[in-house]
Amino acid sequence: MAHFVIIGAGECGARAAFALREKGFDGKITLVGSEPHAPYERPPLSKAGLVGNVDPKFIAARESYETGNIRLLRGVTATGLDAAAHIVTLSDGSDLSYDRLLLATGASARAFPNAPAESRHIRSLRTYHDAVTLRAVLQPGKRIAVIGGGFIGLEVAATARQLGADVILVEGLERVLKRGVPEDIAHLVAERHCTEGVDLRCGVSIESLTEQGGKAIIRLSNDEAIEADLALVGIGARPNTELAESAGLVIDNGIAVDDRLRTSAPDIFAAGDCCSFPLTIYGGRRVRLESWRNAQEQGTLAAANMLGADEPVSAVPWFWSDQYEMTLQITGLADGAVAHLRRDLGEGAFILFHLDAEGRLIAASGIGPGNTVARDIRLAEMLIAARAHPNPAALTASNVKLKTLLAA
């Protein structure tokens, strides 16, 4: 009987396990997870997961693994991989032989250089355990220092303010959301945080991050020292490639896979945050995406290709972030755009359409309260997938429905 092993019990790995069953695989499936919990959703960790005594939002009920005959190993890590022998070694000393292997090892929060490795007052947010630790500090009278003005840092800052904690956010670049978010939208986000009382410091470098007297101490390049009850480090994530590297797999900003999610070793696939892959819709550009939907989609695609489907990666990238009452959504990759056209949607919501030099729509970015931008971002995603060259005037005219452009 064939045995498929999945290393990594996050969004991607869990989706792949269930997709294998849905696609008719009747062999053995082993899903290996390093955390003590069953697979859970990570996006709520920076939002609802920080509020009150909230349990993880599980991807599937525990009995679903038994019903699906999926062997779920929790609290165990893969410590070795022999690609030639098709054997994975686990931290409990056992070995797993496999016919096909999926590496869905995800990513880990980047540590601040030279900061204490183990500190109650200097934390990151990547796991449910991290969220539980943060909860105790996010309350009135506490001061939280957030290092990094990306999605995680800003979402935690918003949640902390809503819970009554004082927040100071330090970003080394000249603005927040520098990576992949247009300046107009980033400016609106920054204004919203400032209105809520976040002390926002951009263009400021940090000389050191230490712990002293039960506080986190952040020393800036101008010699100012910031004291906080907790410092949250949100400076990005690094792909977990150690296992793949030990087995000699090709690494290129993550585990390098082809457009079918195949690694450089036979019978080994990789998917989700840990891998980089070519996107045909962007000329074969190799990218690595850290997003919830990408993890879902690639888990399903990897399952299909492990079963011989030979289907290429075709999804258009999509990201989202909730902060206060605002939702930010981005589809596509705006690198190389030469035109940025704005469509106002009312209620303070708007979308920016990003076109390349040939007039092709390559990305769209929107922000607004609730779900005000969701429908048009979805239609923009479909236009991007169709490699459309829409009429610029029609894109900006709020009385012209995007659906008509898609039909054209």
CA atoms within 13 A on the CB side of 130: 21
pLDDT at 334 over 90: yes
Q: Domain 111-233 is classified in which CATH homologous superfamily?
A: FAD/NAD(P)-binding domain (3.50.50.60)
Q: Count other Cβ atoms within 10 Å, centred on residue 261.
A: 28
CB within 8 A of 380, min separation 6: which ones? 331, 332, 351, 353, 361, 364, 402
Placement of tokens 């390098």 in the chain? 256
Name the fold adopted by 325-407. Answer: Enolase-like; domain 1 (3.30.390)
Q: Taking Cα atoms as reference points, which of 402, 386, 405, 369 lies closest to residue 332?
A: 386
Say what the pLDDT of residue 104 is: 98
CA distance 393 to 134: 47
Q: What whole-number distance in Å separates Cα of residue 339 and Cα of residue 363? A: 11
Which of 172, 49, 153 is CA-nearest to residue 109? 153
Cβ neighbours of 121 (radius 10 Å): 20
Q: Dig out the tokens for 382 from the structure.
A: 């479909």
Does position 78 have pLDDT exceeding 90, yes or no?
yes
Binned at pLDDT 50, 70 and 90, residue 290 comes out as very high
Superfamily of segment(s) 3-43+57-108+237-306:
FAD/NAD(P)-binding domain (3.50.50.60)
Question: pLDDT tens digits for 145-200?
Answer: 999 999 999 999 999 999 999 999 999 999 999 988 999 999 999 999 999 999 99
What is each CA distance from 382 to 188, 308, 362, 399, 401, in whole angstroms?
Answer: 26, 27, 11, 19, 14
For the chain, what are the domain ranges? 3-43+57-108+237-306, 111-233, 325-407
Per-residue pLDDT, 52: 78
What integer pLDDT is reported at residue 184 of this predicted model? Answer: 94
pLDDT beyond 80 at 69: yes
Cβ partners under 8 Å of residue 286, min gap 6: 252, 253, 256, 276, 277, 278, 279
Domains 111-233 and 325-407 share a fold: no
Strand partners, 199: 168
